[in-house]
Amino acid sequence: VEGLIAEGRMQACFENNLKFFQARLPKLYAKLLTPPTLYNLLSNEGGVNVLNLTDHSLLFPCIEGQHQMLNLAKEWAQSPLNNPKWRLDDNDITPLNPLESLPLTNEGCQALLNLSPTESGTICRLGANFYPPTIFYGLAGGLCLALLLEQGAFFHALYLCEEHPDLWRISCYFVDYARLFEATPPSACVLILGQIPPALLQNIFVTKKITHSFLHLEFDPYKNENTQEQAQSFHQAKKSALRGWGSFEDEMLGLNNTLENLKTNPPIFQPKHLKSIDLPICVVGNGPSLDSLLPFLKENAPKMVVFSCGTALKVLKRAGIAIDFQIEIERIGYLKEVLLDAPLGDTPLICGNMLNPEALSCAKEAYVFMRGGSGSGYLAPNLSVEFSAPFVGNAGVAIASLLSHTLILCGLDCGYIEGQTKHAKGSYYGQEDLQIPPNTLEVRANFGKTRVFSDGLFLLSAKQMGQLFAHRQNKVYNLSSGAFIENTTPIRAQDLKLAERNKAKAIRRIKNAFKPLKLRPPKEDFSAFQTALTKLLNTPINTKKDLYALVDDINASSIDTTRKQPLVGLLFEGSLSHLCLHLLAACLPLKQAELPEFYTKAKDIILSTLDKMHATYQASLKE
């Protein structure tokens, strides 16, 4: 171990790293060639340390002339999974709760968990020197990472963040980066100088959603404001990625509802043939900030088109605010009761194709859009409206963004506001307490001093809206006092002035965007999906490392199927993700020698569960 800080070894390691980065990462190589400005390596008879060039302070203690960098690195590199200097995060999902509303999915998931010893508790066995996705919020010189490499570490994925090029340069004296890139799967070792790019987080939690939604290991030697912000960003992305997976059962309900709704030959939204209106569309959600925005809505309703989303309906009706369209997407049965209670009355309904048919029958005037992200929304792929999940508010802004350049958001809070209830007063939900649920994260508020907390679904909702607005290039004014939404302009209601325009013409133009269209039940070929999945599941599995790699491959295959055959992919993707997550959880307590037998049984459970789902789908089409 002491050999790592021998002068000759450090110099050779540094030179080899320069050659490696020159060939692989020329931009980083160029930064490493510049002279140090803030930090430099200190090496003398007392050992090694990191010197701050500004105030000459040391990053590590020096006790009686002996630098403690190596000693502390040894402590940090000792059993990271059980080391208090590290954090092993399970996304607050263990033990996994039964998916009781999803009978087929839950049957398979519980069968997988039953393969694991019931008395295992919180035992976590990943195999010698194998680590789940791991993130360093700073290398602190890199000796800890170098020691892990010496131990034979292999990381399922590795993210190295460092805030200053000088600190990268110092790590090059200790970490063999060529070897490090071999200690991760291809393209799974990511070096980040500065802040974690949001696009990177998005890519990680799409392409490796299942493995990264479960365990990850993190190391933060600095614990400063910058590294804590980095950790917050990663945790937000992780919580968001765990939600919105869907399931076979939800997709089948949506498909059956869609086929029933199409029998009435409703006008269907044609997004390719639109003339945008010259009025802003105000999309109204049922968040608590709606209460303070009711006067603005009442005063300005004649100057904008009002989209009421979900349970905002009752609040707006009671306030006497004219609603131009009610937006709904729910598959569930009690939606009819919600609409009758509000009441919907003569308000035109714009609904997702998978809406509960009884709810659709409540409307005197109804229009349907094909909701992207749901398998049944791709019966006609060219008609699907993307970014319309997970909440009804997302559907509202997705449609509005296609119809008008200017949007106004009211009551779309995307979080829990401190000191307020979850929904507006007088809504369908009645009296609510002010308590913020556990396991939420504080997020940036739309307006300064308000404190807002978010969970996985709210994070996903806000992220989807931000991406939508970037894609559509809308001008979006956010009047809500909940979470800040990217690509919107926060503005107080009293500061937004609207001009009078021809609202009746705008309403007619919106209605004309929906036209009757005959859509037939799908005739899908499942063979390519089944063949690809069976081939993957027949991969020999001898280690947890093998299993993690397999789960990423299954996730990639699901994404590919969804791209090529959206209905087939989305029908199974959610439940398959749940099965794979339970597979990872079930194997945690097992010793390496027990894994092959476990996996043989697990593979049969997964294939059997998917066969039952396929049979259910086929039987449903015959009814």
pLDDT tens-place string over residues 273-311: 788 999 999 999 999 999 999 999 999 999 999 999 999
Q: What is the per-residue pLDDT for 523? A: 77
**What is the distance between the alpha carbons of residues 399 and 535, in angstroms, rounded to a whole number?**
40
Contact 583, 540 (CB under 8 A): no
Give the Cβ contact number of residue 7 at 10 Å: 10
Beta strand 452-454 with 441-443 is: antiparallel
Q: Please give the structure tokens belonging to residue 259.
A: 């086929």
For residue 273, what are the contacts with CB-CB under 8 A and spacing of at least 6?
Answer: 513
Q: Where are the beta strands (DSSP E) in 382-511?
A: 384-385, 406-410, 416-417, 441-443, 452-454, 475-478, 489-490
The tens digit of pLDDT for each residue in 537-550 reads: 999 999 999 999 99
The tens digit of pLDDT for each residue in 575-600 reads: 999 999 999 999 999 999 999 999 99
CA distances from 242 to 245, 457, 543 (A): 7, 8, 25
Mean pLDDT to the nearest integer, 89-99: 83
Q: How confident is the model at residue 623 (pLDDT cuts 50, 70, 90)?
A: low
**What is the distance between the alpha carbons of residues 238 and 247, in angstroms, rounded to a whole number?**
19
**What is the distance between the alpha carbons of residues 125 and 127, in angstroms, rounded to a whole number?**
6
| Radius of gyration of the chain, Cα coordinates, nearest whole angstrom | 27
More confident residue, 73 or 381: 73
- Residue 586's nearest CA partner among 120, 197, 175, 2 is 120
- Residue 309's nearest CA partner among 418, 141, 465, 488 is 465
Beta strand 489-490 with 86-89 is: unpaired
Q: What is the per-residue pLDDT for 272? A: 77
Q: Using the predicted structure, report yes or no on whether residue 224 has a pLDDT greater than 90.
A: yes
**What is the distance between the alpha carbons of residues 51 and 38, in angstroms, rounded to a whole number?**
8
What per-residue string of b and e applies to 148-170 under the rule 16 or more CB within 10 Å gives b? bbeeebbbbbbbbbbbbbbbbbb
Mean pLDDT to the nearest integer, 238-256: 90
Q: What is the per-residue pLDDT for 120? A: 54
Q: What is the per-residue pLDDT for 380? A: 85
**What is the distance between the alpha carbons of residues 203 and 281, in angstroms, rounded to a whole number?**
31
In one letter, which amino acid is 8?
A: G
Q: What is the DSSP string of 91-113?
A: TT--SPPP-TT-HHHHHHHHHHH
Q: What is the per-residue pLDDT for 578? A: 96
Residue-range domain boundaries for the chain:
2-103+121-241, 266-516, 522-622
pTM beyond 0.85:
yes
